[in-house]
Amino acid sequence: MPHILTRSLDRRATIFLAIVATVGVLLPLSNLLLPDTSMLHVPTYLMTLFGKYVCYAVLALSIDLIWGYCGILSLGHGAFFALGGYAMGMYLMRQIGTRGVYADPVLPDFMVFLNWKSLPWYWQGFDMFWFAALMVVLVPGLLAFCFGWLAFRSRVTGVYLSIITQAMTYALLLGFFRNDFGFGGNNGLTDFKDILGFNVQAEGTRAALFALSCLALAISFLICRAVVGSKLGKVLIAIRDAESRTRFLGYRVESYKLFVFTLSACIAGIAGALYVPQVGIINPGEFAPGNSIEAVIWVAVGGRGTLIGAALGAVAVNYAKTVFTSGVLAPYWLFMLGALFVLVTLLLPKGIVGTWNAWRDARQATSLSEDARSAAFEDGAVKPHMAE
Amino acid sequence: MTRSTMSLSSGLLSRRSWLAAVAGLCLGLSAFTPANAADDTIKIGILHSLSGTMAISETTLKDVMLMLIDEQNKKGGVLGKKLEAVVVDPASNWPLFAEKARELITKDKVSVVFGCWTSVSRKSVLPVFKELDSILFYPVQYEGEESERNVFYTGAAPNQQAIPAVDYLMKEEKVKRWVLAGTDYVYPRTTNKILEAYLKSKGVSQDDIMINYTPFGHSDWQTIVSDIKKFGSAGKKTAVVSTINGDANVPFYKELGNQGIKATDIPVVAFSVGEEELAGIDTKPLVGHLAAWNYFESIKTPANTAFIKEWHAFTKNPKRTTNDPMEAHYIGFHMWVKAVEKAKSFDPDKVIEALPGIKQANLTGGVSEMLPNHHITKPVFIGEIQGDGQFNVVSPDDPTKARLVPGDAWSDYLEGSKDLEADWVTLKCGNYNKITKKCGGQGS
Amino acid sequence: MFFNSDVSRRIVGRIKRAGAILALSVTICSGWSGVPAHAASFEDDVALFAARSFADSETAVSHLQVSGNPLAYPIISALKDGRLYADEDSKKVFIKGTDSKIVDAANGQSVATLPDSASPVRLNNRLRRTIDAALGSLTLLSPDVAVRIQAAQSVFKNHEESSLAPLDAALRNETNDTARKALAAARAAVVLFKTDASEADKLDAVATIKARGDQDALALLSGLPGDASPAVTRAATAAMTSIKGNLALWSTVQNAWYGLSLGSVLLLAAIGLAITFGVMGVINMAHGEMVMVGAYTTFVVQETIRTSYPAAFDYSLLIAVPLAFVVAGAIGVSIERTIIRFLYGRPLETLLATWGLSLILQQAVRTIFGPNNREVGNPSWMSGAFDLGQITITYNRLWILCFALTVFVILLAMLRFTRLGLEMRAVTQNRRMAASMGIATSRVDALTFGLGSGIAGVAGVALSQIDNVSPNLGQSYIIDSFMVVVFGGVGNLWGTLIGAFTLGIANKFLEPVAGAVLGKIAILVLIILFIQKRPRGLFALKGRAVDA
């Protein structure tokens, strides 16, 4: 198993994983152990903020997996993210128990004041963590499976697929807004108390959630690498580049697409589940089509089809959002976001990582031709391996 | 050793890239280090959306806060310190509200935050204010069912807006049949639940109540308006109680006007339509439809006239209207100033202690008081829409002598909440159950 | 009787419609109403307006109505229009004429200026209803047919006994058929609610009202007091059942009309998209913002007209349509030249770039015009409604439907009969072949995009009549327009037409059953499922170009 996961790791992937691991360990430790006054102390505010970024990075990975490697542009991936979030939110709501404002042992607050008498069937079971955790993966996965089964089988592709994924998330948005749906309507689920017995607002819990998010990022990265590095991954790329040709070669294109779409939805669900306890609220706003489109742009900024780029793009764009939505620049944030969309697609079609790759390849190519030997020795990747 | 582990170690060994990564991270962190506030200024957070769908309502509130802070500084600030506004843009994105609240409190170290419009944005920042123990002033009319130690509600609770409006219609217009129309979210749902229970307690039968919900931003009102017309033709005087939210109102009123539903036939009383919303409609066909608020721009008092004059001067625009949530911020801000002066400290805990009991003259001639349940006393006005986009107050007869209604956090007309009581002064509890004598939600 | 001919002539002269018959009407009122002149004098009644209480004003209106004084009509109509001023201190009441001349309401003498302490007499809905009833019986004899019908209608609603005598007088003189019917119905309503009317009269009245057969008739009948005789009650119930059955039938027609109307809005919003998306394969997420640009152009046009040439307001939309086309079209062409032309063949990237553009345009409008809604008025020919059978058709919806169809036909003709249309069709079918034949494809692309955007701008002019003019306007239509285009099939304008009307009608028939929210969700789900069946919409383009 470790072999499959690590086989396709190149140097950059290793560095990426190492950074994720270091950040995932050092930041929580610094937050918990170092005194407030220390230069290196990371305040809790930053822990939550970074935790959010990391969850977005996982979502971006899941989008890159299908868009970058299989050419499926989903404009509704926020839906899977939100569904995972809702599953986690329902668990957290059930954990509140009698500590809700109306002290009802079973019903969440929003049901009490709207006169619900009993818990709807779909809320059953969410008091158990294992069940909720299963649902975090299962619900988005199942939706993606059904949706993909219908869409891919009838060969809905390209722009059409993008538009109907958008319709899907829009329909879910409208549905979850309805109070009768039983998910708290517009206000969503909030005011969480604890998770697995730990107070969600405690610094320790936050640190642990951050570490877990980093772990999730690392694991999903490994899974994605494994998928794209395998033979399956090659077929996916073939589908991306020439779908009809791949089909004529005898591959069942829709099965490949369905698999990777479902996997991607599951990863998005996990990202959502980790996101909810850290930001403290899940509401239908997460289903808004605009959110899903924004997530796609993270991938485009970082570089589609690079995985690392997707994660970096998510962090970079959200960091910019944090910076530019305060202070004097506040009213101009949308101008900047909009310009980012336009400029990246026009000038950096391969994204940051992709462009850097291209630039490095070009440089390598020239230096290799000039002095192949010395260049090869300087770069670790080309070093001869004695161990084999 | 396999090839893959080898490449892993070779990656780890590459020191150059490691250093670069760490340096990058430090650079990233340094952007977040709190900017230390200068000692002679006190920071005030303003948490209103300046972009996105809610900018339409919230931008005005940011402006009014800047004006109030400016004015206070001209008077010498508070406790000898100048006030400084910290404006952030949560961009109508609810998780971003929580993030920005945390940023204001932790990084900017603001003493108090004025902000939020929608209930969901308030719900989103609530845990942050509780955790970091700061103060939020919330200026918008809302569904009630909440009383938190860290939040002060300067907008109306349902008993300060919805119920008096219904009373007026019953008494003055002799309405017997009711359409409760709203956008499908928590405020209309709760308000309509309360009104339904209230109407039934007044002997209105279920057949005479029609409840209708529409999605956000609903723009095709033909069917619903004609349903209302149909419902209204049952021979009993009918009225519409509208909790339709912001954007959907313009097409709704346009359709009403065009289908010829006049206020004299079926009056519509709205809780979310103020001067600002009317600015986008030709109001001539709507004359006589009603709105219930705690403030109207048209009420003539010296304080209000001065406020409007100052607002026009501050925004350099003599056409800018004033509205109810602006007055709520006016009251809230001055209450906070008085509480700080009373506590002689900016410390949130001390200010929270000091706030209940603080009195502040509102703009309509009365004196509002912060109650122990963190809501305030407010006058209730019923206004009729006029041809010029303003409201003509029809109840009470003399608006400047209106009776003040105390805000009730927990409605008496809802099953779950009628036994609850909020009192942060003696009981120190936001949801004390009068039957079980227990403070709910406090265990942990 | 108090009659100052000099004064009355002066005032009467100002009243355009009531004109010369006013005196006659007043005489009839006082002579036949059967209500004895009450004790208080006319001056005392007028002074009641100065008491600043709604109840007192109401008493004053009902006294004035039967006073027979020629000043009654000017006073009451001034009150209705907010031109009646009262001075609380001196208890004096003034009429401010439409020409701003001030008249003392108690005696009709001219006054130079209003005292400072005078302010308009306040109105509420109850008072307005009393005024309507009073004016109703006072204008039953107006020379203008429309005014008479309106008066009859208001008497029908208020059915006050005091109106019976003027009604009879009016009926005797009436020559116009429609007005006669309205008057007869109004009379029936009064008789039905008159306590001392005979049973036979009441039964006749029920029959007359039943013949009217609309919502108002139903309202009137169901409001019948419980103490009516059994025969009358029975007749009324039967009449109500028949009216209800009739109305149920009509409501289907009504739903279909609403569906057509919604469909026309969808068509307008989507048709520009059908051009850019269908012909060029460009997914323009900023399409909604072009609609918004059109709506704001309308706002600017109206604002200019309001400040400079208020008389031309009714023509504002006619000016705005070509202007919006030019403005949005120009923006479209410049977008195509600076951004989109670098992205051909990469539809998904175009989608992202145009989405970014939409954010920029939105925020730009927010910065320039402010985040609030802007007022765009309906010109008089687009306000109000008329009845067709038992359904109400509003003029603005009707015009929008006509407008949408006109735009559609013009566009279709353009594609078919002009050189640009020919080139556009050629490029759609086979871009490379078209280029080889000497068509400047890049010029065609720019013009096509400009055309699509211009049409969106024109749609914005129409949508400004029924929706918010705010920076969020465009976003609320973008998803719906995509659904229409995808459902109808890309590259075929007929598909867009049929798609728009199908979705509109389906939505309106679902809405009464499932509610507005669920109805909308159901439509979305249906479209998703439909796309599985026909991945390229109702009218799919066939051929090799499709899979490019």
Q: What end-to-end distance do the CA atoms of chain B give, in Å?
A: 52
B434 to chain A: nearest residue by CA?
A102
A156 to chain C: nearest residue by CA?
C535
Asked if residue C3 has pLDDT above 50, the reply is no
- How does pLDDT run across C331-381, given as a tens digit for each residue? 999 999 999 888 887 877 888 899 899 999 998 998 898 888 888 888 888
- How does pLDDT run across B132-179, given as a tens digit for each residue? 999 999 999 998 889 999 999 999 999 999 999 999 999 888 899 999
Whether residue C356 lies within 8 A of chain A, CB to CB, comes out as yes
Whether residue A334 lies within 8 A of chain C, CB to CB, comes out as yes
Instruction: Say if residues B147 and B210 touch (Cβ distance below 8 Å).
Output: no
Contacts of B374 in chain A (CB under 8 A): none
User: CB–CB of A110 and B186 under 8 A?
Assistant: yes
Q: Chain B to chain C, count of Cβ pairs less than 8 Å apart? A: 157
Q: What is the pLDDT of residue A7?
A: 55
User: CB–CB of C363 and A168 under 8 A?
Assistant: no
The secondary structure of residue B299, as a DSSP letter, is: -
Whether residue B387 lies within 8 A of chain C, CB to CB, comes out as yes
User: CB–CB of C520 and A349 under 8 A?
Assistant: no
How many angstroms separate the Cα of B435 from the Cα of each of A97, B44, B416, B431?
19, 40, 12, 12
pTM for this predicted structure: 0.85
- Highest mean predicted confidence (pLDDT) among A23-37, B323-337, C98-112, C479-493: B323-337
Question: Once rounded to an integer, what is the mean pLDDT over residues C458-469?
Answer: 90
User: Domain limits of chain A?
Assistant: 2-288
Whether residue B431 lies within 8 A of chain A, CB to CB, comes out as yes
Q: Chain A to chain B, count of Cβ pairs less than 8 Å apart? A: 206
Q: What is the pLDDT of residue A84?
A: 96
Contacts of A112 in chain B (CB under 8 A): 415-417
Chain A touching partners, 3 or more CB pairs below 8 A? B, C
Q: The tokens 């608006």 sit on which residue? A: B399
pLDDT band at B29 (very low <50, low <70, confident <90, very high): very low
Secondary structure E strands in C425-516: none
The mean pLDDT value of chain C amounts to 82
pLDDT band at C541 (very low <50, low <70, confident <90, very high): low
**What angle is formed at CA C174 by the lines to CA C173 and CA C180, rounded to 5 degrees?**
145
Q: In whole angstroms, what is the distance from residue B326 CA to residue B196 CA? A: 30
- Nearest-CB residue to B215 (from C125, C378, C517): C517
Question: Once rounded to an integer, what is the mean pLDDT over residues B85-92?
Answer: 90
- Nearest-CB residue to A174 (from C281, C521, C533): C521
- How does pLDDT run across B237-292, given as a tens digit for each residue? 899 999 988 778 888 988 888 888 888 889 999 998 888 888 777 888 888 899 99
Asked if residue C424 has pLDDT above 80, the reply is yes
pLDDT band at B441 (very low <50, low <70, confident <90, very high): low
Q: In whole angstroms, what is the distance from residue C69 CA to residue C410 CA? A: 60
Asked if residue A189 has pLDDT above 60, the reply is yes
Asked if residue C325 has pLDDT above 60, the reply is yes
Asked if residue B356 has pLDDT above 90, the reply is yes
Q: What is the pLDDT of residue C546?
A: 45
Asked if residue A126 has pLDDT above 80, the reply is yes
Q: What is the pLDDT of residue C84?
A: 87
User: CB–CB of B236 and C223 under 8 A?
Assistant: yes
Percent of chain C at pLDDT > 90 equals: 22
Q: To which H or E segment does residue C226 belong?
A: none
pLDDT band at C122 (very low <50, low <70, confident <90, very high): confident
Q: What is the pLDDT of residue C40?
A: 63
The full 3-state SS of C127-193, as one line of letters, equals: HHHHHHHHHHHHCCCCCCHHHHHHHHHHHHHHCCHHHHHHHHHHHHHCCCHHHHHHHHHHHHHHHHH
User: CB–CB of B190 and A193 under 8 A?
Assistant: no
Beta strand A189-190 with A281-282 is antiparallel
- How does pLDDT run across C265-274, given as a tens digit for each residue? 999 989 988 8
Contacts of C515 in chain B (CB under 8 A): 212-213
- C391-410 burial by CB neighbour count: b if 16+ within 10 A, else e? bbbbbbbbbbbebbeebbee
Cβ count within 10 A of residue C117: 12
Q: Looking at the DSSP assignment, which residues form a beta bridge with residue B381?
A: B293
- How does pLDDT run across C157-179, given as a tens digit for each residue? 778 777 788 888 888 888 888 88
Whether residue C341 lies within 8 A of chain A, CB to CB, comes out as no
Locate B213 and state its tokens. Answer: 């919900």
- Nearest-CB residue to B184 (from C258, C374, C517): C517
pLDDT band at C26 (very low <50, low <70, confident <90, very high): very low
Question: Once rounded to an integer, what is the mean pLDDT over residues C120-149?
Answer: 81
Locate B371 and state its tokens. Answer: 């109650």
- Nearest-CB residue to A170 (from C283, C479, C533): C479
**What angle is formed at CA C59 by the lines to CA C55 and CA C60, rounded to 5 degrees?**
115
- How does pLDDT run across C276-286, given as a tens digit for each residue? 887 777 888 89
User: CB–CB of A15 and B21 under 8 A?
Assistant: yes
> Residue C105: is it exposed, middle or buried by C-beta count within 10 angstroms (0-12/13-18/19+)?
buried
The full 3-state SS of B149-195, as one line of letters, equals: CCEEECCCCHHHCHHHHHHHHHHHCCCCEEEEEEECCHHHHHHHHHH
Please give the single-letter amino acid code of residue A71.
G
Q: In whole angstroms, what is the distance from residue C116 CA to residue B101 CA? A: 51
Chain B touching partners, 3 or more CB pairs below 8 A? A, C
Whether residue A190 lies within 8 A of chain B, CB to CB, comes out as yes
CA-nearest of C158, B409, B384 to A101 is: B409
Q: What is the pLDDT of residue B101?
A: 94
Instruction: Give the residue ranges of DSSP H helices in B14-150.
Output: 15-30, 55-74, 94-102, 119-132
Categorise residue B280: left if φ over 0, alpha if ψ from -120 to 50, beta otherwise.
alpha
| Distance between B177 CA and the closest CA of chain A, angstroms | 23
- Nearest-CB residue to C385 (from B259, B387, B394): B259
Whether residue B50 lies within 8 A of chain A, CB to CB, comes out as yes
Whether residue B388 lies within 8 A of chain C, CB to CB, comes out as no
Q: What is the pLDDT of residue C55?
A: 82
Instruction: Say if residues C482 and C401 touch (Cβ distance below 8 Å).
Output: no
Q: ipTM of the assembly?
A: 0.84
User: CB–CB of C383 and B394 under 8 A?
Assistant: no
